[in-house]
Structure 1
Amino acid sequence: MIENQKIEAVKNVESEATILGALMIENKLIDRVADRLSPDDFSEALFGRVYSAIIREFSLGRTANPVTLKPYLSDDPALMELGGVGYLAGLTGSGGAIVMLETCVQQVIDMAKRRKLIDGLTTAAMMAADMSATNEEVVGAADAALSSISDHSDGVVQVSASQAFNEMLAAYDEERHGVTSGGQIHSLDEVLGPIRPHHLDILAGRPGMGKTSAALSYALGAAAAGHGVLFVSLEMNRIELMQRATSDVIFDGQSGIPYEAIRDGRFTSDNARRRVYEAARVFRNLPLHLVDASSLTIGRLNMIVRRYKRRMEAAGQNLELVMVDYLQLLRPDFRTDNMNLAVSEVSRGLKAIAKQYDLGVMALAQLNRSVESRPDKRPMLSDLRDSGQIEQDADAVVFLYRDEYYLRQGKPPETDGKFIDWQMAMDKCAGQIDFIVAKRRNGPSGSATGRFFGAYQAVRGAVQ
């Protein structure tokens, strides 16, 4: 193993501090640096946060200096330990920082790549020593580590109109049709169309509408059709998710093994237990991967997607869809108590991930409680919780709505004269889930109906 002191040597906090000082002294230099240097390149996390604040303030057309950065960093404990804003002011005390800027930037970038390489190869070495890891997994981890040091992509592509036109023509010959549920939820596929690379699609609804069930059914169908899928769950742990997925996989549209039976391990027969164990063959062949995270920043998610993109390529698979459950549980890369700002940053970050890794992203989202106070509870775009930025960034917004859920809450006593009307309404909408496409950037909006099988936590297309 690499000695700790040698690993510690792969950083230069003085160079990092010099960069911050130079940028605060002369804001005109920020454009030159921002395209190459990212907050993650700083070994000192505080410096990364200060750098992010500098970029953010400058991008808003404002001067970035210790005074204007104070609102972003006033509560940062690491900065307070160093003396607060006064420490930042000290970084601007020497004009020599400007002279050294280019050298320091290149050094910080090079050292960041080395640290990523060390981390990646250390992980690969630990996997190699773990006999439960396959050779394919070890090779994939090592490959990802080696690739990281030569990855110069910053997500910014600058070409002429002629070049872009030629790329458009070349794309006609490529077989890239986007991701669908593979017919699993065919009515949603028809009204939404495929989730194409670079697209961010939002699947939103109030609690109880079946968001996770719909997303999981979609992911299973897409994976069964050969699309590589990464399902990132911040709300449900991997065991709960697999219990739902197992019930969904076994369900054939008519019968199956209820989710609760799988969750509790209560099987009515040996045959039911056998069917659960046989589901292992299905999952073994699916290009579906799960991320179980109780807390995640958008920057950390970016790194996870990058890792899985490379791992799956090493395994002969292509990651085409990332699903996030759910958007409001992701955190931005900076500390803020402003929920609107936080959600806006996450939304923009998800769109950036879709573009950077040439894949589609479907993110689940919660709706405002104001929906519950309206007589008509069908959602609208204004109901998207915490930020209008979600609507702006999304290529498509799909709302889930189940009239059955609300009718069940208003069930009258059987002796009430309204009970018969209520029962007729329930019979009419039982098991029905509506897909309301409120926004579709590259096509018409519309709606479709599907079937929600609550006992099996499964969503399917409408009966044809």
Structure 2
Amino acid sequence: MIAEKAVLGSMLKENYLITDSGLAVSQFTNAVHKMIFQSMKELYAKGMTVDFITLLTMNNPQDLGGANYIHDLTSYAQIEKFDIHVGAMLDVWREREKHNVLHVAAQENWQIDRIMSELEALIDNCASDHSSISDLLVDVYEAPFIEQEIAEGSTTGIRQLDDMTNGFQDGELTIIAARPSMGKSDIMLHLAKHAGWKNRLPIIFSLEMSASSLRDRLLASTGSFSRTRMRNPYLLLNETQKSAWPKTVGMLSKTSIQFFDRSKQTVAEMRMKVRKMIHENPDRKPVIFIDYLTLIHSEDTSSNMHLRISQITKDLKAMAREFNCPVITLAQLSRAVEQRMDKRPLMSDLRESGSIEEDADIIIFLYRNAYYTKDDTDRTLELIVSKNRNGPVGTVVAAYNKHTGEVVGFGTNRERTAL
């Protein structure tokens, strides 16, 4: 009952949840809640705002539990935990339906295969995930004879990496891992702004760094401003840089990057925020960035880090598939890297590597030899693609300026001379 109130209350606050939830009237237990949800769906389908007033004026208030009952529902609203409450609702619904199926099966002496089929149908309450080979083959029957548009993923802004991965693909989980000071955050911002310039919607969950700090990093890398000068642009930027400032601001405004910088966010909270962003930006497909993996708060209260990380990576992969968009997550590497002569990362250097290796579609390691040699003239950044579920693996070389955070791939004349 409380879960149903929380779901309805959240829908009153954020109307898009009425359809995004995928719930059916029959999945509510309480008769009054069924009436309220049915009324919500009807109002929303007509393009009307669904709130306290419209519900009461368009219906008999007593059918919906009365004015006070509707008003009190909003006090149960927890937008960030909406998916959790929906899950609790569906658990109750499945248990109820299971008993109904078994009762009818006993009364009518069903065959075992029919019982199994009915119970399995309860696992997925949404659209069917079934496809026959015949249906799938129809889609590609004429593929060799008709030129078709190739679905490109979200651009990385690095031509060689795009060639290797075809961009970050919808529904895939990518892990970008490195030791500290290798440029993880700068790579993330580079990927985000290039995705935004290609009309994607970059959504950054920064669990460690503030949104204003990321903004300043974006300004520095886009305008080629030294980060030390960004501490006080008025005093430290020269006249040439100041004249370039408005253009840099204008370029970044076109990326439409969205930031969420509260620490200890769960995957469920992230999903709610992504869903809202999708609703508010229907013309842009999202690309989700998370900085970084082990800072994601887990609902699992056990002390076993491996189990917690395993559940988080599975949830991230599920989020990528649910929203049909790329999810790119930064990750730290263990200190084992520092004990070897060749300090280029290996799969085994990933903390809790087993679950990450299993769930990630792409794993990219970052390596800068200059970090160890202290050679300030060496701007080489290696992006080592160690896992690529649907493509080749290998190393892509880019230029990285640690003073500005700028990342430049090879391919153009400017790129070739960037080092």
Say whether the fold is shared (TM-score over 0.5).
Answer: yes
Aligned counterpart for 2:151 among listed residues 173, 177, 181: 177
The one-character-per-residue Cα deviations of 1:156-213 (angstroms, maximum 9, x if unpaired) are: 723334344456679999856243436x322322333311111111111111111111
Counterpart CA distance in 2 for 1:310 and 1:119 is 14
User: What amino acid is aligned across from residue 13 of structure 2 in structure 1?
Assistant: D
Q: Do the aligned residues in 2 keep the contact of 1:144 with 1:310 (CA within 8 Å)?
A: no
Paired position in structure 2 for 1:444: 392
1:371 aligns with 2:325: no
Deviation at 1:431, TM superposition (A): 0.3
- Superposition map of 1:220-235 within 5 A: 220-235=193-208
Residues 429 and 370 of structure 1: is their aligned pair in 2 closer, same or farther, counting only changes over 3 Å? farther
SS in structure 2 of the partner of residue 448 of structure 1: strand
Moved more, 299-308 or 341-350: 299-308
Counterpart CA distance in 2 for 1:354 and 1:210 is 24
1:257 aligns with 2:225: yes
Deviation at 1:279, TM superposition (A): 2.6
Counterpart CA distance in 2 for 1:197 and 1:151 is 27
1:273 aligns with 2:167: no
Counterpart CA distance in 2 for 1:331 and 1:391 is 20
Deviation at 1:369, TM superposition (A): 0.9
Q: Do the aligned residues in 1 keep the contact of 2:164 with 2:391 (CA within 8 Å)?
A: no
1:115 aligns with 2:9: yes
- Superposition map of 1:119-134 within 5 A: 119-120=13-14
Tell me the C-alpha RMSD between the 2 structures.
3.0
Q: Do the aligned residues in 2 keep the contact of 1:308 with 1:319 (CA within 8 Å)?
A: no
Deviation at 1:334, TM superposition (A): 2.5
Paired position in structure 2 for 1:385: 351
Q: Do the aligned residues in 1 keep the contact of 2:154 with 2:169 (CA within 8 Å)?
A: no
Paired position in structure 1 for 2:96: none
Residues 447 and 149 of structure 1: is their aligned pair in 2 closer, same or farther, counting only changes over 3 Å? closer
Paired position in structure 1 for 2:383: 435
SS in structure 2 of the partner of residue 355 of structure 1: helix
The one-character-per-residue Cα deviations of 1:388-419 (angstroms, maximum 9, x if unpaired) are: 111111111111000110112xxxxxxxxxxx
Counterpart CA distance in 2 for 1:113 and 1:149 is 12
Counterpart CA distance in 2 for 1:151 and 1:280 is 46
SS in structure 2 of the partner of residue 194 of structure 1: coil
User: What amino acid is aligned across from residue 402 of structure 1 in structure 2?
Assistant: R
Residues 333 and 158 of structure 1: is their aligned pair in 2 closer, same or farther, counting only changes over 3 Å? farther
SS in structure 2 of the partner of residue 296 of structure 1: coil
Q: Do the aligned residues in 2 keep the contact of 1:247 with 1:262 (CA within 8 Å)?
A: yes
Counterpart CA distance in 2 for 1:352 and 1:397 is 17
Counterpart CA distance in 1 for 2:257 and 2:137 is 34
Moved more, 109-118 or 168-177: 168-177
| TM-score (structure 1 length as normaliser) | 0.61
Q: Do the aligned residues in 2 keep the contact of 1:228 with 1:318 (CA within 8 Å)?
A: yes
Paired position in structure 1 for 2:289: 323
Paired position in structure 2 for 1:159: 131
Q: Do the aligned residues in 1 keep the contact of 2:172 with 2:325 (CA within 8 Å)?
A: yes
Q: Do the aligned residues in 2 keep the contact of 1:450 with 1:460 (CA within 8 Å)?
A: yes
Paired position in structure 1 for 2:307: 341
SS in structure 2 of the partner of residue 460 of structure 1: strand
- Which segments of 5 or more consecutive residues in structure 1 lack a partner in the other structure? 1-106, 121-141, 251-255, 409-426
| TM-score (structure 2 length as normaliser) | 0.67
Counterpart CA distance in 2 for 1:229 and 1:323 is 7
Residues 165 and 291 of structure 1: is their aligned pair in 2 closer, same or farther, counting only changes over 3 Å? farther
Aligned counterpart for 1:207 among listed residues 163, 177, 180: 180
1:455 aligns with 2:349: no
Deviation at 1:111, TM superposition (A): 4.0
SS in structure 2 of the partner of residue 450 of structure 1: strand
Q: Do the aligned residues in 2 keep the contact of 1:113 with 1:149 (CA within 8 Å)?
A: no
Deviation at 1:437, TM superposition (A): 0.7
- Superposition map of 1:17-416 within 5 A: 111-120=5-14, 143=16, 147-148=20-21, 157-166=129-138, 177-181=151-155, 184-250=157-223, 256-265=224-233, 266-313=235-282, 317-408=283-374
Counterpart CA distance in 1 for 2:308 and 2:263 is 17
Counterpart CA distance in 2 for 1:366 and 1:116 is 36
Q: Do the aligned residues in 2 keep the contact of 1:198 with 1:354 (CA within 8 Å)?
A: yes
Deviation at 1:221, TM superposition (A): 1.2
Residues 358 and 166 of structure 1: is their aligned pair in 2 closer, same or farther, counting only changes over 3 Å? farther
Identity %: 28
Residues 383 and 145 of structure 1: is their aligned pair in 2 closer, same or farther, counting only changes over 3 Å? same
Deviation at 1:458, TM superposition (A): 1.5
Counterpart CA distance in 2 for 1:219 and 1:273 is 24
User: What amino acid is aligned across from residue 202 of structure 1 in structure 2?
Assistant: I
- Which segments of 5 or more consecutive residues in structure 2 lack a partner in the other structure? 26-126, 411-417
